[in-house]
Chains A and B, each alone.
Chain A
Amino acid sequence: MSVYNSLDSITEELHKCMKCGNCMAVCPIYKETRQEVGVARGKISLVEYLLSGEIEMTERLADRFSLCTTCMACNTNCPCGVQFDKIILAARAEAVRKKGLHPVKKIAFTALKMQRMFDFGMKTGSLFQGVALKHVPHKSDRIARMRFDIGIGTDKVFPMLASKTLRSEFPEVVKVKNPKMRVAFFTGCMINYFYTDIGKAVVEVLKENDIEVVIPKGQGCCGIPASVNGDVASASALAKRNLRAFEKLGADALVVACSSGGTAWKHVFGELLENDPEFKALADKWAGKSYDISEFLIHKVPFKKQGLGRVDRKVTYHDPCHLNRGQGINKEPREILKSIPGVTVIEMKEPGRCCGMAGSFSLVHPDLSVQISDRKTADIELTHTDTVATGCPACRLQLKSGAENAGIEEEVLHTIQILAESYRAGKKNEIRSL
């Protein structure tokens, strides 16, 4: 019984909670609001009342369940081992079964629609952007600000849609001379539509390591924005679509460069499709060979160290919640950064604290999201670095937005971009020394 199908699946999880309140020490939402409903303990008790029949599922209750970035910080700090992420996902799925999707999310983030909207945006290109977004001139990042408030605030800085999607820029199979391996790349929406520079860096680094890259055209959204908000039907449909697309082309391994994509392939697809034997088997098979790009380059195919050129950057690394706590990946990106000549890594205070992006959370609770982000930005500022590296495009967006609002000069990049930069610098040197 998965958390997506029934609220009963989490009764044992609920019973583990002893209401000690330790989760208060780490919850980014509670830190800002100081209201009990913000913290895991509060939402757990609400689910308990719901199960005991003391209250019913109402829109107001569903609203309370939206107050969570699913950052999993409470899981880590819980003495009783409560896996709160399971509880909140189950509660939200129940809310959607009973009350339907939150209106804001329905407009912007119903997963299936999202892709169509973006594809539409791509076609109409600058027209759409000109109307809604105001370009913010900046040296490295194509970002923009909302011209008017459509209910999600104008504080958030958005990346500009890329002029071409990542997937349209590459053939389905990117060949190399003597391939060591054939690896499929799941791009995810943000990298496909906005941060194509991250996707290009992934391909570049894989090629540099003699790996053939497969980028199935049939792939789509990972479905996490849907499953996290309880829209189980859309998420399952997307899971199947992606499994079909990758199965068709086949590969020795699959890599992702965003934390939702990794979570989806490693865990969520299998949970969503547990009642569909055929797809469940497929999901498990791919889960077993799915890697975050930094994990892949450290553990699966150790990346080539010769040819790394000098990159002069002072870097601080922000741990994406779903990469760090969700997949246990935090040493790998740091190891990559530290092996790049010229890069100094300076840790910020609490690098693992949520940046407040959390996908559609920032759309439903824009003010709270900005408050959480401001704390992060302040910590980054204290490191006196010039670059923030992270492992997820969604965090990159939030961190950039925070830096931009605070007026600090900080480039925000995916770890893999800095590695690609280093290989590039290495090549330049080679040519020079020829």
Chain B
Amino acid sequence: MLAREVLQELIQVLGAENVLTEQEDLLTYAYDATAAMKHHKPDVVVSPLSTEQVAEVVKIAVRHNIPIYPRGSGTNLSGGTIPTKGGIVLSMLNLNKILEIDQDNLTATVQPGVIIQALNDEVLKLGLLYPPDPGTVTTATMGGSLSECSGGLRGLKYGVTKHYIMGLQIVLANGEVIRWGGKTVKNVTGYDLVALFTGAEGTLGIVTEIIVKLIPSPEARKSILAVFDDVDKAGKAIASIIRNKIIPATLEIMDNVTIQTVEHFVHAGLPLDAEAVLLIEVDGYKEVVEREAVLVEQILKDEQAVEVKIAKDDKERDLLWLARRSALPALAQKRPTTVLEDATVPRSKIPDMLKAIRRIADKHNLNIATFGHAGDGNLHPTILTDERDQDEMKRVHLAVDEIFQTAISLGGTLSGEHGIGIAKMKYLDWEFGEAGVAALRRIKEALDPNYLLNPGKIVRRD
């Protein structure tokens, strides 16, 4: 419980309507989208309307030594917004303005509460694009996706969030406000704090303004579906496309379990007996797209795809992508609890990873479907389970451990795009070793010595 005077100070700064204190409201900020996580009720939820107010809130927190949990839309998958120690949830959703779209410098300046799709709706009117597109584009905030360094379907060609963040305004853990980076493509002044804060999950500072890079929206695109009777062949095809110097915007894979589930859900005409399908989209200038589509088709055939289909029109294209987008929803309907991981390996290791996941599933007698961004090596092994079944949950945890071990042993990483949060904190030394974890801690302590900002995430306090 917070002292009465703290609440009064918060209300003084923000106005009573932006300070929630009743438990019926607080409890709705006790969780995020992460499956099978314990919830924690915050003591208060505040919604600042300006950077100054954010800074004031931080100063109050510092004075009273109260933790702050920044929160966007609460759609992250690593427990990143759960207020494990009570304290203040700082909802960024009222800072939701697009401040500027600069067509000459190809940048947009936004507040962190802007929803990704809202930005894209605006820039698309000008023929521009903000490429990062996590599955949650219509719900996630710019601040949240920046803090998770979200990826998405277009990662292979266009990169991920960090490739589009040019400048930030940040409220530091002591309440001071700094600006870093800007609209220039080149900038080597000082350490690259923009990069550091991108993907920091709210543990180092609170982002209150973001300058992002925009690109011209591609003129044309074409989608291709390839069916394989063997995971290895699909893997070779992926490598072969890239080796032939074609970089598709999107190169997705679905395994047999996913295919079966999705097909029953959307009836997109996916073959039920396929071991893997690849979904590929090339985009760019019309002429280039035409040429690349033919090339990709040929490569897929050479790599022994049993079937290759180029979407003839928008309708066919939409159906293919509907199938891909339905992967998670369709899987989620099969069992009450869906544990979605994002272990990532170099793309050449995709077949190894897929086979390892299958072995792990069999070993622990679990239902695991795998789909994901094959082109960038980011897979989503998805465990379909039921939180209420304690015995099964034990096996789920063992399987998750083994999936991570495998990813790291294949030269990959724990998390491609969902972040560490609480969920993956205990695995960090597998990837970094003790010295690496200690380095993380020193960075945290340099910027937030009292662990006030999103404590209990990424870095454990000893």
Q: Which residues of B contact A148 (CB under 8 A)?
A: none
Identify which of residues 59-102 in chain A touch chain B, using a CB-to-CB cut-off of 8 Å: 60-61, 63-64, 79-81
Across the interface, A18 reaches (CB within 8 A) one of B35, B73, B139, namely B35
Identify which of residues 170-211 in chain B touch chain A, using a CB-to-CB cut-off of 8 Å: none
**Pairwise interchain contact B75-A20, C-beta atoms closer than 8 A:** yes
Q: A21-B33, A46-B27, A61-B24 are in contact. Are A16 and B138 (CB under 8 A)?
A: no
CA distance A45 to B28 in the complex (A): 7
| A37 interfacial contact with B, CB 8 Å | yes
**Pairwise interchain contact B28-A80, C-beta atoms closer than 8 A:** no
**Pairwise interchain contact B139-A21, C-beta atoms closer than 8 A:** yes
Identify which of residues 318-367 in chain B touch chain A, using a CB-to-CB cut-off of 8 Å: 326, 328-329, 332-333, 336-338
**Pairwise interchain contact B24-A64, C-beta atoms closer than 8 A:** yes
| B376 interfacial contact with A, CB 8 Å | no
Q: A19-B31, A34-B96 are in contact. Are A79 and B328 (CB under 8 A)?
A: yes
Interface size on B, residues (CB 8 A): 36
Q: A25-B138, A81-B333 are in contact. Are A37 and B31 (CB under 8 A)?
A: no
Q: Which residues of A contact B47 (CB under 8 A)?
A: 34-35
Identify which of residues 218-259 in chain B touch chain A, using a CB-to-CB cut-off of 8 Å: none
**Pairwise interchain contact A49-B27, C-beta atoms closer than 8 A:** yes
User: What is the 8 Å Cβ interface bit string for chain A, positions 25-61, against chain B (1 contact, 0 not)?
Assistant: 1000000001111000110011001000011001011
**Pairwise interchain contact A34-B94, C-beta atoms closer than 8 A:** yes
Q: Which residues of B contact A234 (CB under 8 A)?
A: none
Across the interface, A45 reaches (CB within 8 A) one of B20, B30, B338, namely B30
CA distance A302 to B366 in the complex (A): 54
**Pairwise interchain contact B139-A22, C-beta atoms closer than 8 A:** yes
CA distance A61 to B22 in the complex (A): 10
Of A15, A49, A61, A79, chain B has the most CB atoms within 10 Å of the CB of A79
Across the interface, A24 reaches (CB within 8 A) one of B32, B39, B73, B338, namely B73
Interface size on A, residues (CB 8 A): 28
**Pairwise interchain contact A16-B24, C-beta atoms closer than 8 A:** no
Q: Which residues of B contact A36 (CB under 8 A)?
A: 25, 28-29, 74
Q: In chain A, what residue has the closest Cβ to B29?
A: A36
**Pairwise interchain contact B28-A19, C-beta atoms closer than 8 A:** no
CA distance A15 to B387 in the complex (A): 10
**Pairwise interchain contact B24-A80, C-beta atoms closer than 8 A:** no
**Pairwise interchain contact B24-A18, C-beta atoms closer than 8 A:** no
Q: In chain A, what residue has the closest Cβ to B23?
A: A55
CA distance A313 to B22 in the complex (A): 51
**Pairwise interchain contact B33-A20, C-beta atoms closer than 8 A:** yes
CA distance A262 to B340 in the complex (A): 41
Q: Which residues of B contact A46 (CB under 8 A)?
A: 24, 27-28
Whole-angstrom distance between the Cβ of A51 and the nearest chain B Cβ: 13
| B108 interfacial contact with A, CB 8 Å | no
Q: Which residues of A contact B74 (CB under 8 A)?
A: 21, 36
Q: Which residues of A contact B20 (CB under 8 A)?
A: 35
Q: Which residues of B contact A16 (CB under 8 A)?
A: 333, 336
**Pairwise interchain contact A60-B96, C-beta atoms closer than 8 A:** no
**Pairwise interchain contact A45-B136, C-beta atoms closer than 8 A:** no
Across the interface, B329 reaches (CB within 8 A) one of A35, A42, A63, A79, namely A79
**Pairwise interchain contact B28-A18, C-beta atoms closer than 8 A:** no
Q: Which residues of B contact A61 (CB under 8 A)?
A: 24
User: What is the 8 Å Cβ interface bit string for chain B, positions 293-305, against chain A (1 contact, 0 not)?
Assistant: 0000000000000
**Pairwise interchain contact B33-A55, C-beta atoms closer than 8 A:** no
Q: Which residues of A contact B326 (CB under 8 A)?
A: 79
CA distance A433 to B152 in the complex (A): 66
Q: Which residues of B contact A80 (CB under 8 A)?
A: 329, 332-333
Identify which of residues 80-104 in chain B touch chain A, using a CB-to-CB cut-off of 8 Å: 91, 93-94, 96
CA distance A19 to B336 in the complex (A): 11
Q: In chain B, what residue has the closest Cβ to A62?
A: B24
User: What is the 8 Å Cβ interface bit string for chain B, positions 23-54, against chain A (1 contact, 0 not)?
Assistant: 11101111111110001000000010000000
**Pairwise interchain contact B75-A55, C-beta atoms closer than 8 A:** no
Q: Which residues of B contact A15 (CB under 8 A)?
A: 336
CA distance A20 to B333 in the complex (A): 13
**Pairwise interchain contact B73-A21, C-beta atoms closer than 8 A:** yes
Identify which of residues 258-298 in chain A touch chain B, using a CB-to-CB cut-off of 8 Å: none
Of B28, B30, B91, B332, chain A has the most CB atoms within 10 Å of the CB of B28
Q: Which residues of B contact A60 (CB under 8 A)?
A: 22, 24
| 28 A-B pairs (CB sep. < 8 Å) | A16-B333, A18-B33, A18-B332, A18-B337, A19-B31, A19-B32, A20-B33, A20-B75, A21-B33, A21-B75, A22-B138, A22-B139, A24-B75, A34-B91, A34-B93, A34-B96, A35-B47, A41-B28, A46-B24, A46-B27, A46-B28, A55-B27, A64-B24, A79-B328, A79-B329, A79-B332, A80-B333, A81-B333
| Chain B residues at the A interface, C-beta cutoff of 8 Å | 20, 22-25, 27-35, 39, 47, 73-75, 91, 93-94, 96, 113, 117, 136, 138-139, 326, 328-329, 332-333, 336-338
Known: A79-B332, A80-B332. 20 other contacts (CB 8 A): A19-B34, A24-B139, A25-B138, A25-B139, A34-B94, A34-B96, A35-B28, A35-B91, A37-B25, A37-B28, A41-B28, A45-B39, A46-B24, A46-B27, A54-B27, A55-B23, A60-B22, A64-B24, A79-B329, A80-B333
A-B interface, 5 closest residue pairs, ranked by CB to CB distance from nearest? A79-B329, A42-B28, A36-B28, A25-B138, A34-B93
| Chain A residues at the B interface, C-beta cutoff of 8 Å | 15-16, 18-22, 24-25, 34-37, 41-42, 45-46, 49, 54-55, 58, 60-61, 63-64, 79-81
